[in-house]
Structure 1
Amino acid sequence: MPIYYPDILDQGTKPRTFRYGDKDVMLYALGIGLGADPMNETELAFVYEKGLKVVPTAATVLAGRGTSEPLPTPEGHRPSMPNYLMLVHGEQKVELHRPLPTEGAFTTESRTIGAYDKGKDKGAVLVSQTIWRDETGEKVATLTGSSFCRADGGFGGPAEGAPEPHPTPTRAPDKSVDIATREDQALLYRLNGDRNPLHSDPESAKRSGFPRPILHGLCTYGITCRAVLQEIVDWDSDRIASHEARFSAPVFPGDTITVDLWVDGPVISFEARVKERGATVIKNGKTVLRT
């Protein structure tokens, strides 16, 4: 089923209530590699219930992967269904309207906020937004993501107008940090909810054109947030107001990720690369700090 424009902009989900607790918070932190050294007390604070802290990018998984009931179809609406076999995650942003608590109940709802046609042979870009609200209706977090739909171009939507990526500074990085991933990291991270066999099954990975299972893009995204925590804010997770990035290449479990950081007041720009393979895996990264 193709993309229908502008009908797709009316597509969304009804509010869905979810709850998470300290176990979910700790599992996410373990999934992005925190706590590997149990004597490292700064990292221990993210994986142990005593004085527990929340990694801001945990918002990408804490709502779970439960299905949400779609909104009623408006009269005359043509439902869109992109080819998910040809869809890849392009960009992700987490905006926290206040720091995440270690547990709580929230309501989430999602909708498509943009659809851009790059041409019949070039694909399409879809932009979706998910909003968390607390029990009083106040916003807690806004998650915005884009997907590149390689097989869905030519639907007649606008070609221009998609959000521009954050420009990376041209000067040398102010800081760089190497973060090693483990050979079994994807097997651990998938327990946060994304059990796509691309990340665990060698045969599935080969069918997708990879020599072995790849790390989840959102795991790499979380690792870049970990770099900001470690190098910029002295592990004070409450200082991170938003974190966004564009995915540009896969990471294989066992790779060492080098995160380059540029500091301009409350704005931290970043990119991530795997030096051994000469691959830039995250581009146009931007973290905004609370001041």
Structure 2
Amino acid sequence: MPIDPDKALSAEPRTTELVWHHKDVQLYHLGIGAGVPATDPRELRYTLEDRLHVLPSFATVAGGGMAMLGGLSAPGVDVDLAAVLHGAQSVTVHRPLPADGRAVQTATVPAVYDKGKAAVIVLRTEAADADGPLWTCESQVFVRGEGGFGGERGPSQRLALPERDPDAIAERRLREDQALLYRLSGDWNPLHADPEFAALAGFDRPILHGLCTYGVTLKAVVDTLLDGDVGRVRAYTTRFAGVAYPGETLRVRMWRDAPEPGRIQVSVTAAEREDAVVLGETVVEHG
């Protein structure tokens, strides 16, 4: 069997050195839609090096953005990338991320779940620099056709949306070349650029990276409800419930203090497709 849960869970942690510079942060911010309008002081915080602050979601691409793919080459994990779907993502930041940095990332597989027709691999990465811990990321990856090995099914509880109107709604128009720009931060999957490859995967055109939507959404929440202060973000989690396409408009609905104080619950839909769900069970924890 391509997945050996016992071997994956007992494997020694793997370490990788990550290095990034301010231009990597600027490119990431541009890839998730920052810089419009180009001279807006609120946008210059994302694009101009002498006042740059770093969205916590940058942790998913720091050092080239290969943390998840690196985890898929862990001992006991040998899967076909064509069968892989990114199911969920979380980032917990321990302090503000520097615009220029060097860190050591430690990767582990803390869980492998059996969903019957699919397996879910949980990949955890922790990064620290000379001053201590920076962030913890956790990805859940569905691998079709690799279930049925008799393991635990894992958690299945879903987070329902609040039964009231959102406190804020932001719309973010995606550029036609959004995926082409975002992929320069390290995710070269042709699914997001090559129409022929996208057709083989069952899509009529290339889809946007889920982690690009993830970044667009966090920026919308920070700019709308957190006074543009990225330092207030403590953690950010989502479930990838659907797809978005370049050129579409993302409708980001936000509820303060949901499901509890200090949290903002978020729903992301594609406005032009009758609000088809793109991100679900999305929560930003803040200070």
Q: TM-score with structure 1 length normalisation?
A: 0.91
Note if contact 2:31-2:181 (Cα within 8 Å) is conserved in structure 1.
yes
Take 2:47 and 2:159, find their aligned partners in 1: how far apart are those partners? 31
Amino acid at match of 2:124: Q
Q: In the alignment, does 2:227 pair up with 1:231?
A: no
In the comparison of the two structures, how many residue pairs are matched? Answer: 280
Aligned pairs for 1:122-133 within 5 A: 122-133=117-128
Amino acid at match of 2:134: V
Cα distance, 1:13 vs structure 2:
4.6
- Equivalent position SS for 1:225: helix
Cα distance, 1:251 vs structure 2:
0.6
Aligned to 1:282: 279
Q: Deviations over 1:254-284 (max 9, x none)?
A: 0000001010031000010012112100000
Aligned to 2:55: 55
Q: Deviations over 1:140-193 (max 9, x none)?
A: 10000101111101112112x337454432222111111100000100000000
Identity, % of aligned positions: 39
Aligned to 1:187: 180
Aligned to 1:217: 210
- Equivalent position SS for 2:99: coil
Amino acid at match of 1:58: F
Take 1:85 and 1:133, find their aligned partners in 2: how far apart are those partners? 32
Instruction: Tell me which of 169, 173, 187 is aligned to 2:166.
Output: 173
Amino acid at match of 1:105: R
Instruction: Tell me which of 115, 136, 140 is aligned to 1:146.
Output: 140
Aligned pairs for 1:92-103 within 5 A: 92-103=89-100
1:184–1:69: structure 2 CA closer, same or farther, 3 Å change rule?
closer
Take 1:64 and 1:111, find their aligned partners in 2: how far apart are those partners? 18
1:163–1:23: structure 2 CA closer, same or farther, 3 Å change rule?
farther
Instruction: Tell me which of 205, 223, 234 is aligned to 1:241.
Output: 234
Note if contact 1:186-1:215 (Cα within 8 Å) is conserved in structure 2.
yes
Aligned to 1:4: 4
Instruction: Tell me which of 82, 87, 90 is aligned to 1:85.
Output: 82
Take 1:205 and 1:288, find their aligned partners in 2: how far apart are those partners? 34
Cα distance, 1:234 vs structure 2:
1.1
Instruction: Tell me which of 195, 198, 202 is aligned to 2:191.
Output: 198
Note if contact 1:83-1:151 (Cα within 8 Å) is conserved in structure 2.
no
1:19–1:283: structure 2 CA closer, same or farther, 3 Å change rule?
same
Cα distance, 1:285 vs structure 2:
0.2
Cα distance, 1:6 vs structure 2:
2.5
RMSD across aligned positions (CA): 1.9
Note if contact 2:66-2:187 (Cα within 8 Å) is conserved in structure 1.
no
- Equivalent position SS for 2:170: strand
Note if contact 2:125-2:138 (Cα within 8 Å) is conserved in structure 1.
yes
Structure 1 unpaired stretches of 5+? none
Q: In the alignment, does 2:262 pair up with 1:269?
A: no
Decide which structure has greater helix share.
2
- Equivalent position SS for 2:203: coil
- Equivalent position SS for 1:288: strand
Note if contact 1:14-1:69 (Cα within 8 Å) is conserved in structure 2.
no
Cα distance, 1:89 vs structure 2:
0.1
Aligned to 2:14: 14
Amino acid at match of 1:172: D
Aligned pairs for 1:58-77 within 5 A: 58-65=58-65
1:69–1:222: structure 2 CA closer, same or farther, 3 Å change rule?
closer
Take 1:91 and 1:255, find their aligned partners in 2: how far apart are those partners? 22
Aligned to 1:36: 36
Amino acid at match of 2:43: E
Amino acid at match of 1:96: V
Note if contact 2:180-2:192 (Cα within 8 Å) is conserved in structure 1.
yes
Take 1:286 and 1:199, find their aligned partners in 2: how far apart are those partners? 26
Q: In the alignment, does 2:129 pair up with 1:134?
A: yes
Amino acid at match of 1:4: D
- Equivalent position SS for 2:121: strand
Note if contact 2:5-2:76 (Cα within 8 Å) is conserved in structure 1.
no
Take 1:212 and 1:12, find their aligned partners in 2: how far apart are those partners? 40
Note if contact 2:65-2:185 (Cα within 8 Å) is conserved in structure 1.
no
